[in-house]
Structure 1
């Protein structure tokens, strides 16, 4: 099908049913009016929160109002995503966004007012029987208290907020708007301008000259701006140190982990355990060199296809069937909910004119989750389906088991359920694959996920740790110093089988995540936790499934690290990362075996 259908031409059974949220526009308008009315009551509590009964009523009003606003916002924006050009839902989306901002402003006095209570008062509120439903909220406020400053200081920090965005904004402008790359030759020998979007396409080319030329052109361009880019990264590190010291944290790393209450060991364990398993990465590099049939493996060979293009045609109906089969290890209860989602219009399946690109899972508390896809009949789309249904079922189970305030899980946990589904689907596909080419295609697809999500993100995490510690110890970061640290890490991670081209020393200059400091480690921990869960489920069966379902039902009712620990994945120990590495090792062994045959 070459033409993209209009929204009105898509089949009903392939569209999500947003009527489950609001039957019609009139119902939305009615709830909007109710939310506005509730908002007008909020100010009446200001200055009264030292009374536990007033605080209880205020929290209850906050929950009621927030839930209304969430429902209105989710519905308006999902309608907008069906066809971004439709003016009716453009304006409804804007209306819901304004309401959301107004609500945030109206409620903003609550936390500072509660934190102005004395330690004794706050402790008595936490134990107060009338406030039992809000114990987690109050304990979290108490935990934050040591890092909240006086009213005047907080106002000053708020004013610094705009200035503090400067390093990231300047980098983004340089990287996306001002940076111009030269032309390089594509596979047809035509001169094409290099862009961020085309760079990976060039690196995936079968033609090595194309890969090499794009790689060199990319890093030479960054090299010409190394002083400016080093200054922006330096400014970002300095800004982080300013905030850490102002808010009385021992280090930037500890400040960054504090929000999710993650112990520092989780971060250091990840790096140390990956160091212990670097020989596996080196072994994979050796295998890559062998499969590409090259004398030397270079940095620009990392994305080159290892298997001649293998086309897997998988229709949506077939994808649903395979996903269901692959998730059987999760038991009857999970499968029943999955079936509901697949058959009862939770999913918006195909692309249509004006529809938002990509895929996501979303929804509002009290109604089932929804999934947006832009499905193509291929392997990638099947993995996207199981990934998004992983998110959806995580939300379903946590909403069902938890009160509104405790249902939302953190970013630290968010990718676990989706990645676990992918791991089980991959296991299912590999078990049943009889075609050598297909099996090799699947194995390389999976092994590269380990390389990019676990090893590469951990290398990024280590780079961030090193550069922050240097500046915290009073050293400066010259472009030469940044490049040396980054180059040495690449040598360490890729090993002797890889020729680490000097140009890669400039890669630090193009990674946007370095401006959202100490975030990337979550990709590696989430992937490792999911891989550990899948290993336990496939090996132990029922007891592991029970623990995993407990994890899905926990939402945000406890700190992330505790929720995982109860379910049998202790991220403060090296164990889950070691388990993930044993899965990676088995992939390499299977690939080595296939190359011998």
Structure 2
């Protein structure tokens, strides 16, 4: 299945004409200068850990409000130029000019990160509750200020924090960059019909969606061989990153990297345990889905390379233009505002959809400036490709609803970042299922279950793997073979009898860039939270659509201004209760039941 029309590249010329333009050079120089000026301003106002809480007189309140205003403005300015440069790096990692400019910006980002730490330490020195009473600006930022006050209790000394941020450029961030460069530039030889060609890794992994099992198997074998040949530097990167996170977490007096991650995610361990327990209870249903898929494919049991195999030929080919029109129309069934937003994103070329060498795999959405976002995708002309677009547009709509919030108010955790994306994805799935014949329904339903299985089952395996790596890395480095075995063990625990244990993916630790991030550990369970929370909200929408609409946009707007538990309570949801997570998983269980019914009719 191939697209017959040219897929769009995003338009970044509305920001600067190009990386080699004088306008960009001036913009980058100005941003770096403004960061230097912010650092000087913070030093002047003594934004740092203080030996004693200052008197909150009128002069101090004015200084506080100026600090917050400058810090918010600087964050917005950096966001735009950082996303602009990244748009070139992520679509062509071999763009030397883009890599050089990002490295140049990195110096400023390091200095800004140091100011963020100083700001947190400063807030930790204040009587925050008294400040909230005295200042409207503080009241507007009550949640991030209270969170910063708690986080300050987990900071190292100012000198240690400054040193850690400076060294991160040549340690954690450098290892992250190495993984990104290796994985995006990896060309994989593959022999098909007697002819050997070289393919980018993203193209090889896309072959997992092929109707031809022999091609899926050949691509899987070639992929594993490619990861194996690059495993030594990637294992070095992973070992170094996990050790750095362990050391920094311990120095900051977190019980573990997981405890720090839960704090960042604005949830507690009780919530995580309730969700994971519900997920484990659902594994028999997911294995039932995998066994049904195997039968449809004429197999006794699925191999890893069968996970994404189509179970039915999609007679419907969703070309990009048709997919965009369908999304715009169906978003309108929820609200005109959502539909208009999607139409603008397509019209103004906010989306880079074409897969190509050097381009990052997968998809994401980044807030660029004001109400604009940019979406990276690797579009396939199938329902799954359209679903991904809807998902990422949901992120963009989330950004739109935070337009009037300041940078500090917009900082929402990953757990809540998937709220709108899952909601929008569900709108499209339900609409598509209602407009096609039963023979086509099974393909759409399977695409949805395929994704949900990844988020519930595979995400659990990734969580278990990362938990084990953090624990074992406290003692020593882990070899490639040990990392492979930990990954295989995690997959056995989760997929169980749903997959052929002789055909798993030992190098999934090398594939997933989520592991290679010092600033965001456990980049896995928040996706499950997002899926199940989003499904729970969609169920509330179906029950009381008009009442739901009155509150939903405000919920999205407030995701950086309250904890996940507080926001969920607005819709009568108790996220610490396993019953809520089970009720969300009941929705996927109903889909599995329907999938089995449709499969039995074939």
TM tier relative to shorter chain: 0.7 to 0.9
What is the Cα deviation at residue 254 of structure 1? 0.8
What is the Cα deviation at residue 519 of structure 1? 0.8
Is the contact made by 2:186 and 2:200 (CA closer than 8 Å) also made in structure 1?
no
Output aligned runs, 1:452-491, within 5 Å.
452-471=454-473, 482-491=483-492
Query: How far apart in 1 are the matches of 2:312 and 2:8?
Result: 37
Cα distance 1:315–1:282, how it changes in 2: closer, same or farther (>3 A)? closer
Alignment partner, residue 527 of structure 1: 531
After superposition, the C-alpha distances for 1:416-470 in whole angstroms (9 at most, x for unaligned) are 2122111111011112222x33212111111111122321112111221233335
Alignment partner, residue 599 of structure 2: 595
Query: How far apart in 2 are the matches of 1:174 and 1:373?
Result: 18
**Are 1:415 and 2:418 an aligned pair?**
yes
Cα distance 1:536–1:501, how it changes in 2: closer, same or farther (>3 A)? same
5+ residue gaps, structure 1, are 8-13, 20-24
After superposition, the C-alpha distances for 1:95-132 in whole angstroms (9 at most, x for unaligned) are 99978965874795475267258846555434433653
Is the contact made by 2:330 and 2:427 (CA closer than 8 Å) also made in structure 1?
yes
Query: How far apart in 2 are the matches of 1:503 and 1:118?
Result: 48
**Are 1:291 and 2:296 an aligned pair?**
yes
Query: How far apart in 2 are the matches of 1:582 and 1:294?
Result: 27
What is the Cα deviation at residue 592 of structure 1? 1.8
What is the Cα deviation at residue 279 of structure 1? 0.6
Is the contact made by 2:110 and 2:169 (CA closer than 8 Å) also made in structure 1?
no
Pairs aligned (count): 576
Cα distance 1:16–1:505, how it changes in 2: closer, same or farther (>3 A)? closer
Alignment partner, residue 553 of structure 2: 549
**Are 1:62 and 2:66 an aligned pair?**
no
Deviates more, 1:233-242 or 1:28-37: 28-37
Deviates more, 1:585-594 or 1:231-240: 231-240
Query: How far apart in 2 are the matches of 1:487 and 1:40?
Result: 48
Cα distance 1:106–1:205, how it changes in 2: closer, same or farther (>3 A)? closer
**Are 1:586 and 2:590 an aligned pair?**
yes
Is the contact made by 2:261 and 2:522 (CA closer than 8 Å) also made in structure 1?
yes
1:429 pairs with one of 429, 432, 449: 432
After superposition, the C-alpha distances for 1:402-426 in whole angstroms (9 at most, x for unaligned) are 3554235443322321221111110
Is the contact made by 2:120 and 2:151 (CA closer than 8 Å) also made in structure 1?
no
1:446 pairs with one of 422, 427, 448: 448
Query: How far apart in 2 are the matches of 1:244 and 1:582?
Result: 37
Output aligned runs, 1:277-316, within 5 Å.
277-314=282-319, 316=321
Query: How far apart in 2 are the matches of 1:512 and 1:32?
Result: 27
Query: How far apart in 2 are the matches of 1:30 and 1:250?
Result: 45
Cα distance 1:426–1:178, how it changes in 2: closer, same or farther (>3 A)? closer
Alignment partner, residue 265 of structure 2: 260
Is the contact made by 2:328 and 2:343 (CA closer than 8 Å) also made in structure 1?
no
Cα distance 1:261–1:591, how it changes in 2: closer, same or farther (>3 A)? closer
5+ residue gaps, structure 2, are 16-20, 47-53, 55-59
Is the contact made by 2:123 and 2:148 (CA closer than 8 Å) also made in structure 1?
no
Q: Under a length normalisation based on structure 2, what TM-score does the superposition of the two structures give?
A: 0.77
Alignment partner, residue 46 of structure 1: 43
Cα distance 1:125–1:352, how it changes in 2: closer, same or farther (>3 A)? same
More helix by share: 1
Cα distance 1:555–1:425, how it changes in 2: closer, same or farther (>3 A)? same
Alignment partner, residue 251 of structure 2: 246
Output aligned runs, 1:224-373, within 5 Å.
233-314=238-319, 316=321, 318-328=322-332, 330-331=334-335, 334=338, 337-338=340-341, 341=344, 345=348, 361=365, 366-367=370-371
What is the Cα deviation at residue 149 of structure 1? 1.9
After superposition, the C-alpha distances for 1:303-322 in whole angstroms (9 at most, x for unaligned) are 33211353424563x54553
